[in-house]
A and B are shown apart, each in its own frame.
Chain A
Amino acid sequence: MKARLSAGLLAAALLAAGCGSDDGGGSGQQAATTAKVGLITKTETNPFFVKMKEGAQKSAQANGMELMTAAGKFDGDNASQITAIENMVAAGVKGILITPSDTKAIVPAVKKARDAGVLVIALDTPTDPQDATDALFATDNFKAGELIGQYAKAAMAGKPAKIATLDLAPGITVGQLRHDGFLKGFGVAEGDPSIVCSQDTRGDQSKGQTAMENCLQKAPDINVVYTINEPAALGAHTALKAKGREKDVLVVSVDGGCTGVKAVQSGQIAATSQQYPLKMAEDGVKAVADFAKGGKKAAGYTDTGVTLITDKAVDGVEAKDTAFGLANCWG
């Protein structure tokens, strides 16, 4: 038993030595392989990113490219995203599409990849500073917030508003932009007395419910609820329903996932701003393909569009119905 184990150990050690001895020799290019493109999302399981992956896959096939994917273990997992960037650069990708989990902390790793000649495009979320990546393909999150703000203002038809905002988390740009956009659209400034409660939800349904419960405890007469995304909105709806308030409180949201659009259809959410992750990824992969073929680098910001989805349209705010929303939703 012991002899066999030590023999195994010796063999293993010999193999290990062989394993690490080759220095750079193996990196020479073999016969022409298809160009590679990498997609790094915040998490693996969020339907938004699943749709993004689908779009990337579709576009990679159409452009004759090989797609590599990776994701963080949780929203905010910067270390895993850095590791993924490094591994993809080592794998020889032409370009990387990334939704940065931490907009500042990812910047040095992005710079290294770009220094290695890789095209880096931010999807959905800009880096801080934005020009740390070559280009940005994303929803205009401020506008997404502004649309539901305008809608809520018009739907209130002059009734005095008591607003609750169910936000994302401190220090995350997307959440801040949507929040600020909503306030601008509604025509109130931060700190306005009509904003009676603001709570963070991390975009999570159960945290959204808890936040709404606490807000109702604090200010029972809330009649407008802004939510960072539809899971938070559905959580809020559950809390409102428990108080019998689901009919007379206006809930607005952002995202446009299929569950969210269905919730608009059934009246749980009044309106939502729909964004298009599939298009972000499709266009991103296309840009990398163009770079691989002709060396043309994508640059600047490309707005991938946002549409207000509601079945109770109001005057003066352009919107599409839930049939359109369902045809274009993700998740």
Chain B
Amino acid sequence: MEATLPRRLITTPTAGPLAALVLACVFFAVNSEQFLTGGNFSLIIQQVMVVGTLAIGQTLIILTAGIDLSNGAIMAFGGIVMTKLAVDSGLPPLLAIAAGLAVCAAFGLLNGLLVMKISLPPFIVTLGMLNVVFALTHIYSQDQTVTDLPPAMTYLGRTFNLGGTNVTYGSLLTILLFLLFAYLLGQTAWGRHVYALGNSPEVARLTGIRTNRLIVGVYTVAGLVYGIAALLLVSRTGVGDPQAGQTDNLDSITAVVLGGTSLFGGRGLVLGTLIGALIVGVFRNGLQLMGVPSIYQTLITGILVILAVTVDQLSRRRNR
């Protein structure tokens, strides 16, 4: 029973979100003449790529039954580090980007070590880290937006032509990242260990998985992914922004939950998270095209999240 269960559990939760995404697309296509265009779809992907990428890291952590409240803050800090090093300190852009990625990975590592060593709840660790990193961002940047970035830093924001539609390199990178992590989680031993850990840390430990190392690894990899999100953000906005990412922690959790991943760990797909992020992006874009004020986007996103959690709970009960 245990052996066949994971397979079933991880295939079904994504059906609902996909159906929701499709229905939303159909609805907006009917209601807005501008919705159903390649350019608009390219736009939606550009708009969700930052939160989507953050949500990849969030998915990894939630699969281990953890949660990360610090990811938006870590991303903002990474963005400030790379832009300030490149603009103010005159570091070569690639080196500055590498430094930003390293800083983000280091904060991920720190999160992981704290969760593992002091066995504190991830919620508390990352809540503390959120404030620490937020403050560091504002201290280091002196609350100044960094402008006049070198072209290498905004490269991912540039577009190339794909079947008549302009697509940004960043969108492409985001999709590739999702595919990479879908492979890592679905096809490698590491991925199976992550699911096992989320299902039951005790069982995972008894079956010989080095759970401590796994936890630290997951948080570190997540941190690195936040660094990539920082680069995507910088390339999209063309600036280093100390105020960035303040609600992205919750938005990334929204994407994960809407994608059908269980907040209790061990169950879900990273491609579901992509769908979850797209659902939010499609609603925001579609409602705006229809002329609906943005407060309704918040309203609808909230309702969708509650629906998604309800579905998760119901399907758990049924599977018990």
* Docked-complex contact B295 and A44, CB < 8 angstroms: yes
The segment out of B55-63, B125-133, B284-292 that lies at the interface is: B284-292
Interface assignment of A9: CB less than 8 Å from any CB of chain B: yes
* Docked-complex contact A13 and B18, CB < 8 angstroms: yes
* Docked-complex contact B243 and A22, CB < 8 angstroms: no
Nearest to B50 among chain A residues (CB) is A79
Q: Which of A20, A77, A104 has the most CB of B within 10 A?
A: A104
Q: How many whole Å from B128's CB to the nearest CB in chain A?
A: 21
Interface assignment of A12: CB less than 8 Å from any CB of chain B: yes
Nearest to B39 among chain A residues (CB) is A24
Q: Interface size (B, Cβ < 8 Å)? A: 52
Residues of chain B lying within 8 A (CB to CB) of residue A16: 18, 21-22, 25
Annotate A65-104 by CB proximity to B: 1 below 8 A, 0 otherwise. 0111111011011111011101110111000000001101
* Docked-complex contact A26 and B147, CB < 8 angstroms: no
Expressed in whole angstroms, the Cα–Cα distance for A79 and B47 within the complex equals 9
Query: B residues 16-48 with Cβ under 8 Å of A?
Result: 18-19, 21-22, 25-26, 29, 32-41, 43, 46-47
* Docked-complex contact B239 and A105, CB < 8 angstroms: yes
* Docked-complex contact B237 and A109, CB < 8 angstroms: yes
* Docked-complex contact B22 and A12, CB < 8 angstroms: yes
The segment out of B105-113, B138-146, B181-189, B218-226 that lies at the interface is: B138-146
Interface assignment of A295: CB less than 8 Å from any CB of chain B: no
Expressed in whole angstroms, the Cα–Cα distance for A73 and B249 within the complex equals 13
* Docked-complex contact B34 and A77, CB < 8 angstroms: no
Query: A residues 203-240 with Cβ under 8 Å of B?
Result: none
* Docked-complex contact A76 and B33, CB < 8 angstroms: no
Interface assignment of A15: CB less than 8 Å from any CB of chain B: yes
* Docked-complex contact B15 and A108, CB < 8 angstroms: no
Annotate B164-202 by CB proximity to A: 1 below 8 A, 0 otherwise. 110000000000000000000000000000000000000
Q: A12-B18, A78-B241 are in contact. Are A104 and B145 (CB under 8 A)?
A: yes
Q: How many whole Å from A214's CB to the nearest CB in chain B?
A: 18
Query: A residues 12-56 with Cβ under 8 Å of B?
Result: 12-13, 15-16, 19-20, 22-27, 30, 36, 44
Contact with B37, one of A24, A69, A171 (Cβ below 8 angstroms) = A24
Q: How many whole Å from B171's CB to the nearest CB in chain A?
A: 13
Interface assignment of A191: CB less than 8 Å from any CB of chain B: no
Residues of chain B lying within 8 A (CB to CB) of residue A160: none
Nearest to B289 among chain A residues (CB) is A91
Expressed in whole angstroms, the Cα–Cα distance for A92 and B37 within the complex equals 13
Residues of chain A lying within 8 A (CB to CB) of residue B26: 15, 19
Contact with A26, one of B35, B233, B238, B239 (Cβ below 8 angstroms) = B35
Interface assignment of A5: CB less than 8 Å from any CB of chain B: yes
Expressed in whole angstroms, the Cα–Cα distance for A69 and B294 within the complex equals 7
Residues of chain B lying within 8 A (CB to CB) of residue A74: 246-247
Q: A9-B15, A79-B244, A83-B47 are in contact. Are A22 and B38 (CB under 8 A)?
A: yes
Interface assignment of B90: CB less than 8 Å from any CB of chain A: no
* Docked-complex contact A71 and B243, CB < 8 angstroms: no
Contact with B43, one of A20, A71, A87, A169 (Cβ below 8 angstroms) = A87
* Docked-complex contact A170 and B37, CB < 8 angstroms: no
Expressed in whole angstroms, the Cα–Cα distance for A90 and B50 within the complex equals 20
Contact with B288, one of A25, A67, A87, A104 (Cβ below 8 angstroms) = A87
Nearest to B233 among chain A residues (CB) is A79
Interface assignment of B293: CB less than 8 Å from any CB of chain A: yes
Q: Can you spell out 26 A-B residue pairs with CB atoms less than 8 angstroms apart?
A: A8-B15, A9-B18, A12-B15, A12-B19, A13-B18, A13-B22, A15-B22, A16-B18, A16-B25, A19-B22, A22-B38, A23-B37, A23-B38, A26-B29, A26-B34, A36-B291, A69-B294, A70-B288, A71-B295, A77-B247, A82-B236, A87-B288, A92-B34, A101-B243, A102-B145, A102-B243
Give B residues with C-beta under 8 Å from A. 8, 12, 15, 18-19, 21-22, 25-26, 29, 32-41, 43, 46-47, 50, 142-145, 147, 163-165, 233, 236-239, 241, 243-247, 284-285, 288-289, 291, 293-295, 298
Give A residues with C-beta under 8 Å from B. 2, 5-6, 8-9, 12-13, 15-16, 19-20, 22-27, 30, 36, 44, 66-71, 73-74, 76-80, 82-84, 86-88, 90-92, 101-102, 104-105, 107-109, 169-171
Q: A71-B293, A78-B243, A108-B237 are in contact. List 17 more A-B contacts (CB 8 A).
A: A24-B37, A27-B37, A69-B294, A70-B288, A71-B295, A73-B298, A78-B239, A82-B236, A90-B43, A90-B289, A91-B291, A92-B34, A102-B241, A104-B239, A105-B239, A109-B237, A171-B144
